[in-house]
Amino acid sequence: MLANCPMCQALYEEKEIRLLGERGVTRLFHCTCHACGHAMLAVILETQGAISSVGLVTDLEAQDAIRFKDLQPLQSEDCLKIHRLLKRHSVEFCRALSQETKPKV
Question: Given the rule CB under 5 A, which residues bind Zn ion?
Answer: 5, 7-8, 10, 33, 35-36
To the nearest whole angstrom, how small is the minimum distance from the Cβ of residue 41 to Zn ion? 14
CB distance 20 to 62 below 8 Å = yes
To the nearest whole angstrom, how small is the minimum distance from the Cβ of residue 37 to Zn ion? 7
To the nearest whole angstrom, how small is the minimum distance from the Cβ of residue 65 to Zn ion? 17
* Count of helix runs (H) and strand runs (E) in the chain: 3, 4
> To which H or E segment does residue 47 belong?
strand 39-47
Closest to Zn ion by CB, 8 vs 97, is 8
Closest to Zn ion by CB, 5 vs 41, is 5
To the nearest whole angstrom, how small is the minimum distance from the Cβ of residue 56 to Zn ion? 14
**Among the listed residues 1, 35, 32, the one whose alpha carbon sits nearest the alpha carbon of residue 18:** 32
Closest to Zn ion by CB, 9 vs 52, is 9
User: How many residues in the chain?
Assistant: 105
The C-alpha angle 59, 27, 2, rounded to 5 degrees, equals 60
Closest to Zn ion by CB, 32 vs 65, is 32
